[in-house]
A = this chain, B = another copy of it.
Amino acid sequence: MGGDHAPAEIIEGAVEAVRRHGVRLVLVGQAPRIRRELERHGVMGQIPIVHAEEALDMGEGALASWRKPRSSIAIACHLIKQGRASALVSAGSTAGVVATSRLRLKGQQGVMRPAIAVTLPTRPRPTVLLDAGATADIKPEGLVQFAALGTAYAQILLEVERPRVGLLTIGAEPGKGNKLTKRAHELLAGGTHGIEFAGNVEGHDLLRGDVEVIVTDGFTGNVALKTMEGTIRTAFSEIRTAMTSSPPARMGALLQRRRLQELRARLDPDTYGGGVLLGLNGTVVIAHGAARARAITAACDLAHRLAAGRIVERIRDQVAATRTSRFGRWTHGERDGGDRQEGDQPAAATVPAPAPAAREGAGTERTEPRPQVKGAEPPASG
């Protein structure tokens, strides 16, 4: 129910994901409206619907997750906890989706903080940047975990076995940066934890495509991402002005329109935008608020690929590898007040122990309703 063009474009995109990519999915939201749309596409009865009375508004932030316990996002999280789904896709407000899914899904065992991974439009293949804004304050050890999260994500998304990881900071040499990145550099350069550390990268390297993964805190990542988006918009708007400012220039513009539109589409976050929330007990794909059907189809396909690639288990293993090398001290003992994640505690306290594996374990049929594992369901408010 989230997104500027919900539910029509969302449902159209989902239907296409079922048809084209064979994704098995459940639609969560106001049942009568969803039914109407499915009828329009002639697939009534072929896609399961779970009713949700409420929906988060696009303007709603983190508090909405408390105010609306029956929102479509909250219900979708519930389906994941029940084992009836292993990933969710939403085009709702990022703040609302992140807060609700953190609250409902909880952090996965051993992961200190979740991160939003986005892809930057580099060539020949995209670059994964994380964290794009889930966790604004983080410790150096948390950045090392983000490197593990990003490695797991890039392995599936880019099909690269050992993705190179760069640390976003303000100078190429190890000693450059702020206290956070200097310490994180030391930890990452320490090696032997399954991360292919490629050293520091700077702001002007973001679009170079020299590494597969770029790691930063959620504050810096969000500023950098929005700076990039704003700069691309300004550049194209100024170029449009320059290109139509005289009769010969206007003539030239006509000759180039299609190429520039293609380029704009490739660089415009409205097209490539969106992100994946990593580190929770279930994968959350956050499509851009302005997403149209095509972007939703891509998001459903991505959710399907991540579930099939066992992203949650892969992250668990990857993070465990960072822990066993030289960071034995901190991963479990970590406490810093503030908005501490439940995931810092052994997950067994709230979720029956083998649950994450059970929910993610059965190969490629990740998004199919699977009532048989319902027994693992924790209390709804858990």
Q: Using a CB–CB distance below 8 Å, which chain A residues touch chain B?
A: 61, 95, 133, 136-137, 168-171, 173, 177-179, 181, 202-208, 216-220, 222-236, 238-239, 242-243, 245-246, 248-249, 251-256, 259-260, 262-263, 267
In the complex where A133-B170, A170-B133, A204-B227 touch, is A256 in contact with B252 (Cβ < 8 A)? yes
Nearest B residue to A250 via CB reads B255
Copies in the assembly, this chain: 2
B224 and A224 contacting across the interface, CB-CB below 8 Å = yes
A217 to B253, alpha carbons, bound, how many Å? 41
User: Do most interface residues of chain A lie in helix, strand or loop, or is the interface mixed?
Assistant: helix
A235 to B203, alpha carbons, bound, how many Å? 15
Least distance between A340 CB and chain B CB atoms (Å): 14
B204 and A229 contacting across the interface, CB-CB below 8 Å = yes
Which residues of chain B are within 8 angstroms of A168 by Cβ–Cβ distance? Answer: 223
A236 to B248, alpha carbons, bound, how many Å? 20
The 3 A-B residue pairs whose C-beta atoms are closest, nearest first, are A203-B226, A204-B230, A252-B252
A23 to B249, alpha carbons, bound, how many Å? 40
In the complex where A177-B219, A219-B178, A220-B220 touch, is A227 in contact with B242 (Cβ < 8 A)? no
Nearest B residue to A263 via CB reads B242
Which residues of chain B are within 8 angstroms of A216 by Cβ–Cβ distance? Answer: 223
A260 to B245, alpha carbons, bound, how many Å? 11
